[in-house]
Amino acid sequence: MPITKLSRKLAIKKALILGSGGLRIGQAGEFDYSGSQAIKALKEEGIYTVLINPNIATVQTDGDMADRVYFQPLNIETVTKILKQEKPDVLLLSFGGQTALNLGLALHDSGVLKKLGIKVLGTPVSAIKITEDRELFKVALNEIGTKTARSVATYSVKEALAAAKTIGYPIMMRSGFSLGGLGSGRIENAVQLKQRVGEVLRAVPQVLIEEYLAGWKEIEYEVVRDAAGNTITVCNMENLDPMGIHTGESIVVAPSQTLTNTEYHMLREVAIKTINHLGIIGECNIQYALNPANGDYRTIEVNARLSRSSALASKATGYPLAYVATKLILGYKLHELKNAVTGTTSAFFEPALDYLAVKMPRWDLAKLKSSDHRIGSEMKSVGEVMALGRSFPEALQKAIRMLNTGSTGLTAHPYEFDNYQDEIEHATDRRIFALYEALKAGSSVEQLHNETGIDNWFLSHLSDIQQTEAKIVEQKLDAPLLREAKQKGFADSVIATLKQTTEDAVRAQRIKLGIKPVIKQIDTLAGEFDASTNYLYTTYHGNTNDVQPLGKKAIAVLGSGPYCIGSSVEFDWCAVNTGKTLQAHGKQTIMINSNPETVSTDFDRSDRLYFEELTFERIRDIADFEDPEGIVVSVGGQIANNVALPLGQHKYNILGTSPQQIDRAEDRQKFSAMLHTLGIDQPAWVEATTLAKAKQFASEVNYPVLIRPSYVLSGGAMNVVNNEKELEHYLAAATKLSPDHPVVLSQFIMNAKELEIDGVAKDGHLLIYAISEHIENAGVHSGDATVVFPAQRLYLETVRRAKLITKQIIKNLEITGPFNIQFIAKDNELKVIECNVRASRSFPFVSKVTGHNFIAIAAEAMIGIDRGIEYQTLEYEHVGVKSPQFSYNRLKGADPVAGVEMASTGEVACFGDDLAQAFYTSWLATEQQVKQQTLFLSIPDEQKYKFVDEASELVAAGWKIYTTTGTYQYLKEHGIKTTKVHKISDKQKPSATDLVENGKLGLLVCVPSRTDDSNDARTIRRLAIDNHIPLITNAETGRLLMHCLSEPDILSATPKAWQDYKTT
Amino acid sequence: MGLVRNKPTITGSKTVHKDRSGRGDFFKTFSAKLYLSDGTAFDGVVPAGQANGVVGEVVFNTGMTGYVESLTDPSYTNQILVFTFPLIGNYDVQLADIESEKIQVSGVVMSELALHGSHTDSQTSLLNWLESQNIPLLTDVDTRAITKHLRTRGTMLGSISTEPINPKSLKLESKIISIDEPIIYNEKGTKKVILVDCGAKDNILQSLLALDLHVKRVPYDYDYTTESYDGVLLSNGPGDPTDYAPTIAIAKKALAKNKPVFGICLGNQILGLAAGAETFKLPFGHRGHNQPCMDISSKHCIITSQNHGYAIDEKTLPKGWQVWFRNLNDQSIEGIRHHSKPFFSVQFHPEACPGPTDSSYLFEEFYQCL
């Protein structure tokens, strides 16, 4: 029955797809993957596609993707306006995470879709509602006799307490309608419940009180169903960490490893039955708890949309779930589609893996001050990695290295445990290493199993790794032992340390012994059918390679690795666009990346995809095998950049700027010396190895000074100290000061502006540049700053001088490819802070605002192409503003103040006709919503003068402003009437706390005092976040926002698409 | 099966393990190879003291679970089973999962044998279980390389050995697995079904009993057509269906009685042969849990568990018979039925175990015909 040309089943001319916005905890880059595949599938059908997504750094918002792109907030007001303008035939809700799903439900409920005649494609809204409302869900599953956890939906604190009493403590509290398990947790008693339910009910209407299933295995299935009811489970996954730890916080293996055939297929059957009963069309995820003692199960939830798990399943199996899901919601049947990997077999099949995938979460809790390191039922991780191997130890140790958190394996981690036992019993982000420490100290697998509930199968493998480590230490490193070590995932560098030799020596020895990784294909069918797949991984469990080397016609591109604070979807955008450009110039591309939440790891984006570690060792393995023309290290962010020098020293050809020059920019001493030689000013700095030297420097340049430990222990990161006492305190608490562990102190310049130049050079000559400015004054990390392009408030002279300095630096560093230089400007003086000889996070932003693809120009430069175009990038009729997306509401206890250490997890960017409009749109797009015209304003004395005009405008616009004594008095003196409330520390009512808790506030602008950050200030900041009220802590952005809120034209602006602005 | 003690000599294998003792099974290994009849050999290791020289047809299975069920599936008689999933033995062995009274395969090849299997109901480790029944095992093998080899060259004979084997010496005699005397189950059942045992998996019997049927399980050459019954189920089994001449002849007689006949796997081929069709050998068979099939009248698709090396030749299907199910990957016949009479059969395994349960409704359909 040959399937020939497929006809489109539904007459759809125009589709609108909702994206997911800025990356945040619980909703990361996976939705760029799903949205991009959906757009590709829609375009193949000739459907005119409109996308709304303010995440400018995504591939899905590229010019060659959707026909129209709105960089606009994903809120009901804006989207309603856009729907009215665009009048699409259909709306796609399942590709933009929980954001899109919730928004879609709200649009449906508001009647807009019905009024405009817009159909929701795929799973009917009624079915989505069943999956989102836990009470309806339970009823629906009861109808088909499948089991759910005992749970009661409650809508008040009183109801919650009653339900908990019936079920019995401990109970599991979960909130309805949320992503990433927000507001979920184990509750021990009534007091705790009362407090937590109160908080959660302010954000969501429903709280579930559930049976506590800790210790049960947590299993998921990814299910695909077409409109005719043909259903498959593409992949199942097992969490190493049992129930009680959110699946986003768990180490996950695919396929399940400890389930018997009976268990596997019992859950599979329930999945198919459930999904058919719910009537889901497209793709969904079903989660179970499985009791290891007796095989009993509970269905936990169904996500009726593409999810983080589906992205993982897609990458783990090679089955393009989002693409297939799109075709299915357009009306295709599964059997009418082909397996994209084989091209010949049917898409109605279930992948058979002949390897396993291990996913590990990437946390960044150390960067988020005072946030708790314990993990549990709420998601805190910011990204993840996936490792493929043919044994668990091999894949696990790969995954650990992929995280790029300083561990080169299970046995080689940088942590010093005060009490590893405590971190085993109360899981933290480094529990896997605590388990290793326990095993090393003699704990038994059985004992650890009792303490954690982790299956013995996993723990025994950890124990095996630990025993292999002991063998390496004790025994002669002969061929069998070396092979065993490699099969168990030990890095050459780890073996070298254990044997007191060098990584190079170990590598040379094993290559001499013929111990090399082999390259295997991911073909979805375990080799059963011939598949010319380009999706590859390496393993030491094998003797033969599945592919032949590509050789010199190929170029390897290093991707970004896991998303974390400071490295986000923008580097995936850079990697994808680099590959695309190289292919356009007839090159074959080899993509290397370890992050399953990316578009670059879609196997149809490159000629070869290695889902692999971005470590020096593995890149060498791949480069030695493939023998490519060169390696691109400058588009994947810092991980890729860091391997440039070692690769260069080992004679691998690095395309673009030479590794030695990259090192000159990266090495603080060398870079400083270069600036000095060129006569370019820089903030004063010193590397101090003693407290005396640190004090001396600080007194020379005057406080405040910025401290950056070169050796960071947990908790001690970059910081600003304001006086000698703070300096002493900081150096005593956070760092080990010694000649081996110096700190870098630099002058901290206050009330200065910060600017950035993103650009591309070839052989030291500038090809294109974009100069942008920060709204915040210097002192806010550039990743947390609000960035404006083109710069609106710079003197022409400043621009001219910045460009001149840039030209000097790139010439001296002989840059070929992308670069980014950051400046501080004060009183017309420019100082250079740093230069990155690689693509920066603002590359997609400046590319989309200017309409010139900077990374494409960079990729061309790296292969010797200069189009000789003079780009004009200073003046446009529009302004772009990029805003940071924070995830503070997911991190209990974290202090939501932007500072010198980056804390944002993502970003958005929007366009406007002027700065204010672009800023306001961009700010709203970071999930902000002002619900009422009431403001609590708190400003330190030295900055009060800045706010007079804005406060006056707001009051004139009908706002009510609350203040405490100082601000009240100051504004009163300037003729502005505000409402005085008590300070929290006065312990009198009403205070700011009462305003927040009684839902009286629409906005808080609380600028902390640099020298005296009071407890009151910290309390109110945290309270604002926990109660979901917008909070601004920076004077400049606060003023700008207050200005915007008083301008009716800004508030009522008509949303425009990217294509409506003239970019070039 | 004669036990031959190996000399502990290490051959030129790339994988050389010494003592691999963990806290689990003590596992001392020697280098060995899987020798194929085309002269190819694949490296691996075997437990110390394992017998050399057992010959089997080398086949691969792509299922990711169900090693206990597969190893005890009588259809694997005379075969050396290569698991493409690399980690085998993870959840140990629970004897409740067996599909027949013993391990039926001639040998097992895998990438990694679990030395620390784990399950609440574990009764023994896979290694101990295999050793207790003298089943040769080869582990630490590049099973993907073997799979690709068999996929290209077709299934062939092989043997696991620590000593070199002359490929020309590999020979295999066909075997039929059945019972000696009829066995009666659930005599009080509503309807009576004859289960023709050509090597029936236990879950076929269990699936019938679950419908409260009276089952008379009979040997493959037992003539049940003179008895009274409501329906016949032709079971799965190993080898070439044309070797089952008596079974086919009896099935022909059964067809003349117009009582329902349901065939599974080998039973599908036997029904086809009894109806007058021919069978042929597939190059490397279908063995796995992810085989997509479509009921071509309803267009409904299901994922099936399969284990077969032969198929019905569509061109030879006699008049009155039609294709019922088709494989979506290679379009081969996965089921046939008579257009008016209650004769039908499927090439896959509706009883699952191992594999997906999508087609278990077929037992219900059979029941409805009785």
Whether residue B274 is found in the same domain as residue B136: no
Whether residue B318 is found in the same domain as residue B214: yes
Residue B16 lies in a domain: no
Give SS3 for A740: coil
Whether residue B148 is found in the same domain as residue B248: no
Pick B65's closest partner by Cβ from A259, A272, A463. A259
Catalytic, B351? Answer yes
Two structure tokens written together for A539: 């393993």
Q: Considering just the CA atoms, what is the radius of gyration of chain B in Å?
A: 21
- Which domain, by its residues, includes B245? 183-369
Whether residue B223 is found in the same domain as residue B349: yes
Whether residue B286 is found in the same domain as residue B335: yes
Which pTM value belongs to this model?
Answer: 0.94
pLDDT in tens, B26-53: 568 899 999 999 999 999 999 988 989 8
Cα A689 to Cα A152: distance, rounded to the nearest angstrom: 59
- Average the pLDDT over A345-356 and give the result: 96
Phi, psi of A1004 (to 5 degrees): -125, 130
DSSP state of B314: G
If pLDDT is split at 50, 70 and 90, which confidence band does A892 have?
A: confident
Question: What kind and span of H or E run contains A688?
Answer: strand A685-688
Residue B244 lies in a domain: yes
Q: Which residue of A has its CA nearest to B23?
A: A460
Cα B277 to Cα B313: distance, rounded to the nearest angstrom: 7
Q: What is the mean pLDDT of chain A?
A: 93
Lowest mean per-residue pLDDT among A358-372, A701-715, A1020-1034? A701-715
pLDDT of residue B244: 97
pLDDT in tens, B157-178: 999 999 999 999 999 998 999 9
Contact between A484 and B63 using a beta-carbon 8 Å cutoff: no
Any CB–CB contact under 8 A between B114 and chain A?
yes
Which of A261, A275, A345, A468 has the most B C-beta neighbours within 10 Å, making it the best mutation to test the interface with B?
A261
If pLDDT is split at 50, 70 and 90, which confidence band does A369 have?
A: low
Longest Cα–Cα distance of chain A, Å, equals 85
Whether residue B295 is found in the same domain as residue B202: yes
Q: Which residue of A has its CA nearest to B359?
A: A269
Catalytic, B265? Answer yes
Minimum distance, in Å, between the CA of residue B65 and any CA atom of chain A: 5
Q: How far apart are the first and last CA of chain A?
A: 51
Cα B89 to Cα B130: distance, rounded to the nearest angstrom: 11
Whether residue B63 is found in the same domain as residue B128: yes
Structural domain total, chain B: 2
Whether residue B158 is found in the same domain as residue B261: no
pLDDT at B206 over 60: yes
Upper half-sphere CA count for residue B257 (Cβ side, 13 Å): 17
pLDDT of residue B14: 37
CB A879 within 8 Å of CB A913: yes
* Short-list A1032, A905, A1026, CA closest to A382: A905
pLDDT at A70 over 70: yes
Whether residue B292 is found in the same domain as residue B158: no
CB A79 within 8 Å of CB A71: no
**Burial grade of A133 (CB within 10 A; 0-12, 13-18, 19 or more):** middle
Whether residue B45 is found in the same domain as residue B101: yes
pLDDT of residue A597: 96
Q: Sort residue A268 into left (φ over 0), alpha (ψ -120 to 50) or beta.
A: alpha
CB A597 within 8 Å of CB A26: no
Give SS3 for A155: coil
Two structure tokens written together for A625: 């095998």
pLDDT of residue A830: 96
Q: How far apart are the first and last CA of chain B?
A: 44
Whether residue B125 is found in the same domain as residue B208: no
Collect all residues of chain B within an 8 Å Cβ-Cβ radius of residue A461: 116
Question: What kind and span of H or E run contains A312?
Answer: helix A308-317
CATH of the domain at B359: 3.40.50.880
Two structure tokens written together for A517: 């990784």
Choice among B198, B265, B293, B353 that is catalytic: B265
pLDDT of residue A1: 32
Residue B258 lies in a domain: yes
Q: Which domains are delineated in chain A?
A: 14-123 (3.40.50.20), 124-148+215-304+307-353 (3.30.470.20), 150-212 (3.30.1490.20), 357-518 (1.10.1030.10), 545-655 (3.40.50.20), 684-747 (3.30.1490.20), 753-876 (3.30.470.20), 906-1051 (3.40.50.1380)
Residues in B 213-232 with any Cβ partner in A closer than 8 A: none
Residue B175 lies in a domain: no
CATH of the domain at B34: 3.50.30.20
pLDDT at B10 over 90: no
pLDDT of residue A737: 61
- Average the pLDDT over A726-735 and give the result: 75
Q: Which residue of A has its CA nearest to B323?
A: A1
Residue A294: partners with Cβ closer than 8 Å, 6 or more residues away: B120
Which of B60, B65, B126, B306 has the most A C-beta neighbours within 10 Å, making it the best mutation to test the interface with A?
B65
* Short-list A945, A944, A975, A978, CA closest to A961: A978
Catalytic, B163? Answer no
pLDDT in tens, A525-535: 999 998 889 99
Residue B342 lies in a domain: yes
pLDDT of residue A939: 95
Contact between A335 and B148 using a beta-carbon 8 Å cutoff: no
If pLDDT is split at 50, 70 and 90, which confidence band does B24 have?
A: very low
Minimum distance, in Å, between the CA of residue A174 and any CA atom of chain B: 30
Residue B5 lies in a domain: no
Cα A698 to Cα A723: distance, rounded to the nearest angstrom: 8
Cα A34 to Cα A55: distance, rounded to the nearest angstrom: 14
What sign does the CA torsion over B306, B308, B313, B319 have?
Answer: negative
Whether residue B259 is found in the same domain as residue B282: yes
pLDDT of residue A180: 55
